[in-house]
Amino acid sequence: MTQFPVDDDLAVLVERLAKEKPFENLTFNDALRRVLKNYVIPTARDKKGSELDDLLNEPIAIARQSAKKAPTPSPTEWVANIPELRGRKGLNTWKAVCNLLKIDTAGDSARRRLKNWVKSNRPTWPTVPDVD
C-alpha cells in the first residue's frame, strides 16, 4: 500500500474536524474518512453523485476480496488414485483420511499432516496436492 507523508498541521486540522466528541480516539485513517464523508462528499454530491462514496469504499472492497482463502484440493480425487483406499466409503475430507490411517493431526491441517506422512511412510503413493 502506498504511504504518504502528512504534515503535522494537516494532521491537526483533520483531527479537529473529525472529532465529534471530546477525548474521542480515532486513527488518522478513520479521522480522514470522517472528514471526507462529512465535508467533501455532501458538497460534491450535487456534482458527481456517489462517485466519492465509491472511491471511499474501494479500498475496503479490495481488502475483503483479497482476504478469501484458496479452496482446498479434493480428497476424493486423491483417494481415487490409491488402490488401498479406493473402495473405502466416507473419505470425503482430509481429516477422515487421517483418521482411517491413524494419523494424529494434533490441531494442525489434516492435509499437511497426511502429506508428510505419505512422504515418509508411503513414498509410492501419489503426493498429496498442495493448495494453489
Q: Which domain holds residue 33?
A: 8-66
Residue 104: CA count within 13 A, CB half-sphere: 1
Count the domains in the chain. 2
List the Cα angle 37/19/61 in 5-degree steps. 40
pLDDT one-digit tens code per residue, 68-115: 666 778 899 999 999 888 888 888 999 999 999 999 988 888 999 999
Q: How far apart are the first and last CA of the chain?
A: 24
- 131 assigned to some structural domain: no
pLDDT one-digit tens code per residue, 22-43: 777 888 888 888 887 877 655 5
Mean pLDDT score, 58-65? 65
For residue 14, pLDDT over 70 is answered with yes
Question: Do 54 and 102 reside in the same domain of the chain?
Answer: no
Question: Do 88 and 115 reside in the same domain of the chain?
Answer: yes
* Contact yes or no for 19/31 (Cβ under 8 A): yes
Closest listed residue to residue 111, CA positions, set 83, 132, 88? 132
For residue 45, pLDDT over 60 is answered with no
For residue 18, pLDDT over 70 is answered with yes
Question: Do 62 and 90 reside in the same domain of the chain?
Answer: no
Question: Do 61 and 15 reside in the same domain of the chain?
Answer: yes
Question: Do 81 and 36 reside in the same domain of the chain?
Answer: no
For residue 48, pLDDT over 60 is answered with no
Local confidence band at 60 (pLDDT 50, 70, 90 cut-offs): low
- 42 assigned to some structural domain: yes
Q: Where are the beta strands (DSSP E) in the chain?
A: none
